[in-house]
Structure 1
């Protein structure tokens, strides 16, 4: 066994401790205090073992809201590489086990790392749109978003995040109080031919009747990427 493999469990433990410490401080300081938060469907999150959480993305508040929904478990977030331009932010993200990915290229290294996290039994959260929505509505999901779940052989948990766009949308400089809600849905088999469509349809259904009600899925947005 290599030195890297010997250090892997300790590294995962350290990152998990840092993650829970930061989330604990965040909640203690009341990061979500101005917002009435509600979590629905937490029973769909596995108590142990890997799973890929796929949600809509409209705000910076999406990260702590997903983390709050998965309280008690370490969630590894997949984030755009450009978010780590700041050395301090990059260090914090790396210390928490975040996976940084270039959304404009086939980042096989990042994909491999996500698969490793899932196989190791971690929860990984991914925003299949690739970026925050400008109007809060659900956009096109990236082809290949579920590839890591297929390779790792873990379920996909759809998650609808409500209210985050109204509270702190992409064009807003400062947040404002608003009710927030995280809704988790039943597991979806990533190997199903229409798995990505199933995930998007479930999330879209939860957004019906809100200001985040989505536009129809553009043609060609289905999960027809190459099988790994």
Structure 2
């Protein structure tokens, strides 16, 4: 009920007026049943725009920091995140990562849509980064389809450091579902998980205009903050080289 009120009465109408959200490929999202929406992550507003353009609720896994902020801004952020269906998770790694995967699997077991950002954090510079294997693990253990999603314009509306996104049209491109159900028996095989995670990122990259960087976004953030030059990017993943030119 809270989600419906947020989307259709309190927040949704204002966001639609300010950002005129659009979608390409919306028919690729099933009307019922579980699925993973795996998308790029350019800005905080990604998690607000995607639910606006889909008729079904999307439950996101979000860092617990969104729910623990102090002051008015912290309370508003927590209220927003709760309203759009974000589930707080601990991203410190180790046992916390396993708990996050189990949380996601419960969402899928309930037949819901689960929103995941395979990069694990926002892109520090608008480029697409290497996926963590958690999305592959959830896809293989659950057997549900993975639907690639690309958010468009959100990094321009809300660049890193900007709290309130500027009004402008924002949208998403949604690709055809990826089926990994034939690999369920390999849900604990690391090489298979790595290959599936890369295939998911290839599908996201094919929908976007981004460059690909073959390192984790968190690693890139740490490296550039220490003064190192940005990692060179490509337009393809290492697992799929461009065709040879004779």
TM tier, shorter chain?
0.7 to 0.9
- Answering whether residue 190 of structure 2 is matched by residue 205 of structure 1, we say no
Specify the structure having the higher radius of gyration (Cα): 2
Equivalent residue, structure 2, for 1:104: 92
The structural deviation recorded for 1:50 is: 0.5
- Answering whether residue 57 of structure 2 is matched by residue 74 of structure 1, we say yes
Q: Distance in 1 between matches of 2:16 and 2:162?
A: 17
Equivalent residue, structure 2, for 1:8: none
Equivalent residue, structure 2, for 1:84: 67
Q: Distance in 1 between matches of 2:137 and 2:81?
A: 23
1:166 alignment partner, one of 150, 156, 159: 156
1:184 alignment partner, one of 174, 179, 184: 174
More divergent stretch after superposition (173-182 vs 118-127): 173-182
The structural deviation recorded for 1:42 is: 0.8
SS of the counterpart of 2:18?
coil
Label 1:138 to 1:50 Cα distance change in 2 as closer, same or farther (>3 A). same
The structural deviation recorded for 1:172 is: 2.3
Query: TM-score normalised to the size of structure 1?
Result: 0.77
Residues 113-128 of structure 1: pairs in structure 2 closer than 5 A: 113-128=103-118
Work out whether residues 134 and 169 of structure 1, in 8 Å CA contact, stay in contact via their aligned partners in 2. no
- Superposition RMSD in Å: 2.5
Label 1:80 to 1:207 Cα distance change in 2 as closer, same or farther (>3 A). same
Q: Which runs of 5+ in 2 are unaligned?
A: 184-191, 217-236, 240-246
Q: Distance in 2 between matches of 1:20 and 1:214?
A: 36
Equivalent residue, structure 2, for 1:131: 121
The structural deviation recorded for 1:215 is: 2.8
Q: Distance in 2 between matches of 1:179 and 1:96?
A: 20
Work out whether residues 52 and 156 of structure 1, in 8 Å CA contact, stay in contact via their aligned partners in 2. yes
Q: Distance in 2 between matches of 1:163 and 1:95?
A: 23
Q: Number of residue pairs matched?
A: 200
Q: Which runs of 5+ in 1 are unaligned?
A: 1-16, 224-228
More divergent stretch after superposition (160-169 vs 95-104): 95-104
Query: TM-score normalised to the size of structure 2?
Result: 0.72
More divergent stretch after superposition (98-107 vs 60-69): 98-107
Q: Distance in 2 between matches of 1:206 and 1:97?
A: 26
Work out whether residues 167 and 176 of structure 1, in 8 Å CA contact, stay in contact via their aligned partners in 2. yes
